[in-house]
Structure 1
Amino acid sequence: MHAPELRVAIVGAGVIGAAIAYELSQLPDLSITVLDQRSPQTYAATGAALGVLVGAVSPKRKGQHLQLRLASLQRYETLIPELETRTGLQLPYNRQGILQLCFEPEQWQQWTEVSQCRREQGFDLEQLQPEQLARHYPQVAQARSLQTSQPLLGAIYSPQDRQVDPIALTEALIVAAQQQGAEFVWQTKVVDLIPQSQGSSQGVSQIQTATETLTVDWLILAAGLGSSDLTAQLQTPIALQPVLGQAVKLRRPFPLAMPYPVVQGEDVHIVPLNAWEAWVGATVEFPAEQVVAKDFALDADPQRLAAVLEQAIALCPDLKGADILQTWSGLRPRPQGRPAPIIEPLSGYTNVLLATGHYRNGILLAPITALKIKEWIAARP
Structure 2
Amino acid sequence: MPHLAIVGGGVVGAAIAYELSHIPTLHLTLLEQHQPAQASTGAALGVLMGAISHKTKGRAWRMRETSLRCYDAWIPELERLTGKPLLYNRQGIVMLLSEGVDLANWDTLISNRQAQGWSLECWSRDQLRDRCPQVQDDTIMAAIYSPGDRQLDPTALTLALLDVAQQRGVDLKLETAVTAVDCAADGTAQVLHTTNGDLAVDGVVIAAGLGSTPLTAAIAQPVDIRPVLGQAMRVRLPAALGHPDFQPVLTGSDIHIVPLGDGDYWIGATVEFPDDAGEIQAHPTLLDQVLDGAIAFCPSLSQAQVIQTWSGLRPRPFNRPAPIVEPLPGAANVWLASGHYRNGVLLAPATAKAIAAWVQEFFGLEPT
Q: Same fold (TM over 0.5)?
A: yes
Cα distance in 2 between the residues matched to 1:243 and 1:210: 28
Give the equivalent residue in structure 1 for 2:344: 362
Cα distance in 2 between the residues matched to 1:37 and 1:202: 24
- Counterpart of 2:304, as a letter, is A
Aligned counterpart for 2:155 among listed residues 167, 181, 188: 167
Give the equivalent residue in structure 1 for 2:328: 346
Cα distance in 2 between the residues matched to 1:211 and 1:87: 28
Q: Is 1:374 aligned to 2:356, yes or no?
A: yes
Q: Is 1:237 aligned to 2:222, yes or no?
A: yes
Cα distance in 2 between the residues matched to 1:223 and 1:107: 39
Give the equivalent residue in structure 1 for 2:95: 100
Q: Which range moves more in the overlay, 96-105 or 340-349?
A: 96-105
Which structure 2 residues correspond to residues 1-381 of structure 1 after superposition, within 5 A? 5-40=1-36, 43-140=38-135, 142-143=136-137, 151-197=139-185, 201-256=186-241, 257-291=244-278, 298-380=280-362, 381=364
- Counterpart of 1:192, as a letter, is A
Structure 1: gaps spanning 5 or more residues = 145-150, 292-296
Q: Which range moves more in the overlay, 363-372 or 252-261?
A: 252-261
CA contact (8 A) 1:258 1:275 kept: no
Tell me the CA shift for residue 289 of structure 1: 2.0
What SS does the corresponding residue of 1:127 show, helix, strand or coil? strand
| TM-score, with length taken from structure 1 | 0.92
Deviations 1:242-277 (A, max 9, x none): 000000000125433233100000000000111411
Cα distance in 1 between the residues matched to 2:198 and 2:306: 46
Cα distance in 2 between the residues matched to 1:372 and 1:159: 26
Cα distance in 2 between the residues matched to 1:326 and 1:178: 31
Per the alignment, do residues 61 and 106 of structure 1 end up closer, same or farther by CA in structure 2, a change over 3 Å counting? farther
Tell me the CA shift for residue 134 of structure 1: 1.6
- Counterpart of 1:45, as a letter, is S
Give the equivalent residue in structure 2 for 1:294: none
User: Aligned residue pairs: how many?
Assistant: 361
Q: Percent identity?
A: 49
CA contact (8 A) 1:193 1:208 kept: yes
- Counterpart of 1:227, as a letter, is S
What SS does the corresponding residue of 2:271 show, helix, strand or coil? coil
CA contact (8 A) 1:32 1:182 kept: yes
Q: Which range moves more in the overlay, 152-161 or 131-140?
A: 131-140
CA contact (8 A) 1:60 1:114 kept: no
Cα distance in 2 between the residues matched to 1:26 and 1:112: 41
What SS does the corresponding residue of 2:127 show, helix, strand or coil? helix
- Counterpart of 1:215, as a letter, is A
Tell me the CA shift for residue 78 of structure 1: 0.4
What SS does the corresponding residue of 1:139 show, helix, strand or coil? coil
Cα distance in 1 between the residues matched to 2:194 and 2:95: 46
Cα distance in 1 between the residues matched to 2:117 and 2:322: 24
- Counterpart of 1:222, as a letter, is A
Cα distance in 2 between the residues matched to 1:275 and 1:112: 35
Q: Which range moves more in the overlay, 247-256 or 214-223?
A: 247-256
Deviations 1:77-101 (A, max 9, x none): 1011111111111110000000000
CA contact (8 A) 1:253 1:323 kept: no
- Counterpart of 2:258, as a letter, is V
Q: Which range moves more in the overlay, 104-113 or 272-281?
A: 104-113
What SS does the corresponding residue of 1:202 show, helix, strand or coil? coil
CA contact (8 A) 1:10 1:35 kept: yes
What SS does the corresponding residue of 1:138 show, helix, strand or coil? coil
What SS does the corresponding residue of 1:273 show, helix, strand or coil? strand
Give the equivalent residue in structure 2 for 1:148: none
| TM-score, with length taken from structure 2 | 0.96
Cα distance in 2 between the residues matched to 1:350 and 1:319: 53
